[in-house]
């Protein structure tokens, strides 16, 4: 089953496959389906468009259900294969495909050591962020508060609160889930 195969192409392909598997000729299937052999030939080759009313007769002629002719659409590849994104000194690996989870995106981030101090004016935007520290120590600035987040700890906060994060001493690996606004700010710099 081809990934970009449309319903018409899928039914034509399945029709040919089922006919061949059963060792039936065009003539035999045409007779059983109450179709002219030239009509069946044109349906199989794509020179004539399949209509819904063709399906029951063709399915009965092949001894299958109409669903067997329609087949199922191929399942999308579940793997996320997006390339890492550089954001200043940070590197972000997308862990979700676009459009998943209501616009939320998950990333693995590497925050290198010596990422500097927070800017004088901390960013504020619509949304909500969630961060889980895998390794290293993360400095999180939320408004006037300063936190050190250790490995195995998670934080979540409204991004209406002025915020910034960076590494303490060595590099930090973390998983971050950001809404569209936070993704643009944190991942695209």
State the CATH number of the domain containing residue 63. 1.10.260.40
CB atoms within 10 A of CB 25: 10
- 0.85 exceeded by the pTM? no
Q: Are residues 41 and 91 in the same domain?
A: no
Do 37 and 119 lie in one domain? The reply is no
Does residue 13 fall inside a structural domain?
A: yes
CA–CA distance, 131 with 137 (Å, rounded to integer):
12
Instruction: Name the one residue in this structure whose structure tokens are 């960013």.
Output: 123
Shared domain check, 172 and 113: yes
Inside any domain, residue 58: yes
Residue 80 lies in a domain: no
Question: 55 and 97: one domain?
Answer: no
pLDDT of residue 135 exceeding 90: yes
pLDDT in the model for residue 18: 85
Same domain, 130 and 178: yes
How many domains in the chain?
2
- Answer whether 66's CB lies under 8 Å from 7's CB: no
Q: Are residues 91 and 55 in the same domain?
A: no
The secondary structure of residue 84, as a DSSP letter, is P
Is residue 66 located within the same domain as residue 92? Answer: no
Residue 103: per-residue pLDDT:
67
Residue 75 lies in a domain: no
Share of residues in the chain with pLDDT > 70 (%): 86
Report how far apart, in Å, the C-alpha atoms of 180 and of each of 55, 89, 161, 175, 184 are: 44, 21, 16, 16, 6
CA 162 to centroid of chain Cα atoms? 31
Residue among 31, 174, 161 at smallest CA distance from 115: 174
The whole-angstrom separation of Cα 97 and Cα 103 is: 10
> 179 and 125 share a domain?
yes
Residue 77: inside a domain: no
> Residue 151: pLDDT band by 50, 70, 90 thresholds?
very high
pLDDT digits (tens, 9 = 90+) for 18-59: 888 888 888 998 999 898 999 888 888 888 888 888 888 888
Q: What is the pLDDT of residue 189?
A: 47
pLDDT digits (tens, 9 = 90+) for 48-72: 888 888 888 888 988 888 888 887 6
Least confident window among 72-86, 108-122, 135-149: 72-86
- 103 and 160 both lie in a single domain: yes
172 compared with 82, residue with greater pLDDT = 172
Asked if residue 76 is part of any domain, the answer here is no
If asked whether residues 52 and 14 sit together in one domain, one would say yes
Quick one: 53 and 116 in the same domain?
no
Domain boundary among the residues 18, 47, 70 is at: 70
Q: What is the number of other CB atoms lying within 10 angstroms of the CB of residue 100?
A: 12
Q: Cα–Cα distance between 104 and 96 in angstroms, integer?
A: 9
Q: Would you say residue 31 lies in a domain?
A: yes
Q: What is the DSSP string of 110-174?
A: EE-S---PPPSS----SSEEEEEEEEEEEEEEETTEEEEEPTT-EEEEETTS-EEEEEEEEEEEE
Averaged pLDDT score across all residues of the chain: 84
Same domain, 65 and 94: no
Q: Structural domain of residue 64, as residue ranges?
A: 7-70
What CATH number does residue 111 fall under? 2.60.120.10
Angle between helices 7-21 and 54-62 (to 10 degrees): 20
């Amino acid at each position: 089953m081809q990934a970009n195969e449309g319903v018409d192409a899928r039914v034509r392909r399945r029709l040919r496959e089922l006919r061949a598997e059963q060792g039936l000729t065009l003539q035999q299937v045409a007779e059983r389906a109450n179709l002219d052999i030239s009509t069946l030939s044109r349906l199989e080759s794509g020179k004539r468009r399949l209509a819904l009313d063709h399906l029951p007769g063709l399915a009965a002629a092949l001894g299958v259900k109409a669903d067997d002719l329609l087949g199922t659409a191929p399942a999308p590849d579940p793997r996320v294969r997006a390339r890492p994104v550089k954001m200043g000194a940070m590197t972000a690996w997308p862990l979700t495909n676009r459009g998943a989870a209501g616009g939320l995106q998950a990333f693995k981030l590497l925050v290198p050591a010596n990422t500097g101090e927070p800017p004088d004016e901390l960013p504020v935007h619509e949304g909500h962020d969630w961060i889980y520290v895998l390794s290293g120590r993360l400095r999180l600035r939320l408004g006037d508060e300063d936190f050190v987040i250790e490995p195995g700890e998670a934080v979540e906060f409204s991004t209406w609160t002025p915020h910034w994060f960076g590494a303490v001493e060595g590099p930090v690996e973390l998983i971050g889930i950001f809404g569209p606004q936070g993704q643009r700010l944190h991942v695209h710099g």
